[in-house]
Amino acid sequence: MIDIQESSLETTGHKCGFVAVVGLPNAGKSTLVNRYLKEKISIVSMKPQTTRTNITCILSTDTYQIIFVDTPGLLKPRYRMQEVMASFVKSAVEEADVLLVIIDASRFKGEFPPILVNFAGEIRSKKVVVALNKIDLIKKTALLDIIAKADTLFKGVDIIPISAIDGDGTDELSAVLLNDIPEGPSLFPEDSISSEPERFFVSELIREAVFLTMKEEIPYSSAVIIDNYEEKDDLVVIIASILIEKESQKPILIGKSGSMIKNIGTKARLGIEEFLGRKVFLDLRVKVKKDWRTKDNYLREIGLIRK
């Protein structure tokens, strides 16, 4: 849990609120949320667009409940799936009590990207906190320039330098967030860490294994469907399909004599067993669904469209 002293709060009442965690792809949003919850709730990889949907992550103590909403990265949509991802960000922003904007300080090249500049203009009416992440990768002298530019772009907001990977500055950031969220009772049970079902996290851990194992376009062209999820006395049996868009991708994903899909399955199974705390039998299959990222019926099948 976050180590917060009662003196850091502006009031003595219980606090509860939604914090939408937003930013460009691969800025470290999921890494930060996982650090605060001390659980691997959101999957992470070095590749952008790892997060595709909003993930509700719940941090509770006796005095507060922060409901983090980990969102997909800000981008200009090029196809239907990215349009859906952008809609998730929009809904999270609209519903949040506080927006936590994560900026990768190590990528700063003198000016912020246009998409971030435009986003800053769109959220001026919201309560905003900015975290300059990955300060462990830059010189302190360079950080001063980034803070100054961020202060110009996000006028009058708290700007906190942090490193989500090693925890530097994260206690200060959490104290600022707590001061900004409203008083109110908890909205979720204290032992809940997310509102998502186990099957969702299982599919995400399989997709993470694909991202960590495969190169080039295959991670971005892949999705996971849980075909069967059965809990037995001492074992969870999971059958899942990895969707890809092209027949030519199938032999690459399977690998010579099944070596690649076996490697993916091993990584995924270990992650799922750690998450569930139980032994898992995992059977992975590969299916070709041409251009699935552009079609609502497939996006609905993998759970990105829920209506």
Domain containing 203 equals: 198-301
The verdict on 164 and 223 lying in the same domain is no
The verdict on 119 and 224 lying in the same domain is no
In a domain, 102, yes or no: yes
Q: Indicate the residue among 146, 180, 214 that finishes a domain.
A: 180
Higher pLDDT, 219 or 265: 265
Residues for the chain: how many in total? 307
Give the C-alpha separation, 85 to 72, whole Å: 6
Res. 270: pLDDT tops 60: yes
Residue 41 counted as domain residue:
yes
Q: Which of 131, 154, 180 is the last residue of a domain?
A: 180
Note the pLDDT of residue 279. 97
Strand partners, 67: 18, 58
pTM of the model: 0.90
174 is written with which tokens?
Answer: 């959490």
First-to-final CA distance of the chain:
35
Q: Cα–Cα distances in Å, from 194 out to 16, 68, 249?
A: 15, 9, 34
Number of domains in the chain: 2
Give the pLDDT confidence score for residue 285 in this predicted structure.
Answer: 96
Q: Could you tell me the CA-to-CA distances from 48 to 62, 211, 217, 288 in Å, in that order?
A: 36, 10, 12, 23
Q: Do 215 and 158 fall into the same domain?
A: no
Alpha-carbon distance of 15 to 102, in angstroms, equals: 23
In degrees rounded to 5, what are phi and psi of residue 289? Answer: -125, 100
The yes-or-no verdict on residue 37 having pLDDT over 60 is yes
Query: To 10 degrees, the CA torsion angle through 117, 121, 125, 131?
Result: 10
Q: Does one domain contain both 290 and 156?
A: no
Domain membership flag for residue 190: no
- 106 belongs to a structural domain: yes
Q: Indicate whether 54 and 174 sit together in one domain.
A: yes
The CATH number covering residue 68 comes to 3.40.50.300
Residue 215 shares a structural domain with residue 161: no
In a domain, 244, yes or no: yes
Residue 35: C-alpha distances to residues 2, 10, 41, 96 (Å): 9, 24, 10, 20
Give per-residue pLDDT as tens, 112-149: 999 999 999 999 999 999 999 999 999 888 999 999 99
Q: How deeply is 292 buried, as exposed, middle or buried, from its count of CB atoms within 10 A (0-12, 13-18, 19+)?
A: buried
Q: Positive or negative CA dihedral for 56, 86, 272, 280?
A: positive
Q: In the structure, what pLDDT confidence band is assigned to residue 12 with cuts at 50, 70 and 90?
A: low
Q: What pLDDT digit, counting tens, does each position of 182-231 carry? A: 999 999 999 999 999 999 999 999 999 999 999 878 888 999 999 999 99
Same domain, 26 and 162: yes
Residues 213 and 120 in one domain: no
221 in the same domain as 281: yes
Residues 203 and 64 in one domain: no
CATH code, domain with 237 = 3.30.300.20
Between CA 239 and CA 230 the distance in angstroms is 9
- Is residue 187 a part of any domain in this protein? no
Let me know whether 117 and 162 are in one domain: yes
**160 and 223 within one domain:** no
The interaxial angle of helices 170-180 and 29-37, nearest 10 deg, is: 90
Boundary-marking domain end, from 180, 209, 232: 180
